[in-house]
Structure 1
């Protein structure tokens, strides 16, 4: 029988010294190459924070387009029940007031849309109401852009044109604090 030396025996260890380096490099690679998806929501311009008491001025009722959504997802516009599908056209007529009716806004720069929800309002209903109100402004802006500049109102329109249109028809959407569940 031949004698075996320690040198002839198989070594059961694996050299793992470079494994940590490889794992670290892979981690850095994936961190650098991965893009983080941003959640998109409703873009709302908030007022500047102030410690002073707000100036409470009495608005003319004719210039306020009050929209209430209750806990049963029913819509009340200026005291009258309305379907969400009718909201956009009624809001457009209120803002523009093409026939100078005394019960609609004096002019687009004075029109204020007041949106108030109940805490029990479903999020989908809130979004559909908000989208209809925003769509009313988008259509008015588009109509004015066609009339003044002969083109659609869009992001590729020059900034000066968009600014001029928004000065003529500013989007004033006031959202009140939601009421407690089932109050309205």
Structure 2
């Protein structure tokens, strides 16, 4: 009979809910959520439909052509390139030619690096190629002011002293336009080879 009078003890679930809620708040506050910013590219302003497009004249030798097909193969200056890591040095040699080699650019002011991909090109290959070109410019700018490419990339343009270093590296003229621009042209992908 004594067994029937015994009350079974239950687990107090009220405090468990409080603990779970506190843990949830803790993890929400302390966790950093990665935000993908994409490729930071400054696009030109939208052209005025009432004005004719500008007549842009340039020497074809000032364009460094990089083509990526749907199989992620690189064609640089009409030659197949197997090692994408050598692209950075090729871009630097092209831009910093200063007219010495007649097959390369006249000057950094005139040099244009053109990247054209196929619709079937993978994002990974395109980003790798773009990063190589971008890093070549960071190295060239950093070398002009005695910094590493990584230090130059981290310059805070809201700080006047660091902005002065940035402008010095890009060699801004009195008109505010750089004499050493980062001229990367991304051509519209061709339709062949992909969907």
Counterpart position of 2:33: 36
- Tell me if the contact between 1:67 and 1:115 (Cα under 8 Å) persists in the aligned partners: yes
Structure with greater contact order relative to length (CA < 8 Å, sep ≥ 6): 1
Give the TM-score, by structure 2 length: 0.68
Correspondence for 1:21 among 10, 18, 22: 18
Shift in alpha-carbon separation, 1:87–1:35, aligned structure 2, 3 A: closer
Counterpart position of 1:93: 93
- Tell me if the contact between 1:74 and 1:81 (Cα under 8 Å) persists in the aligned partners: no
The DSSP-based 3-state class of the residue aligned with 2:188 is coil
Cα distance in 1 between the residues matched to 2:75 and 2:27 = 52
Q: Which runs of 5+ in 1 are unaligned?
A: none
Max Rg structure: 1
Shift in alpha-carbon separation, 1:74–1:20, aligned structure 2, 3 A: closer
- Tell me if the contact between 1:66 and 1:115 (Cα under 8 Å) persists in the aligned partners: yes
Shift in alpha-carbon separation, 1:50–1:102, aligned structure 2, 3 A: same
The DSSP-based 3-state class of the residue aligned with 1:108 is coil
Counterpart position of 2:189: 178
Cα distance in 2 between the residues matched to 1:85 and 1:19 = 55
Deviations 1:83-114 (A, max 9, x none): 14553333223212234445433321232211
Instruction: Answer yes or no: is 1:159 the counterpart of 2:171.
Output: no
Deviation at 1:56, TM superposition (A): 4.2
Correspondence for 1:55 among 50, 53, 56: 53
Give the TM-score, by structure 1 length: 0.71
Q: Which runs of 5+ in 2 are unaligned?
A: 156-161, 171-177
Aligned-pair Cα RMSD in Å: 3.3
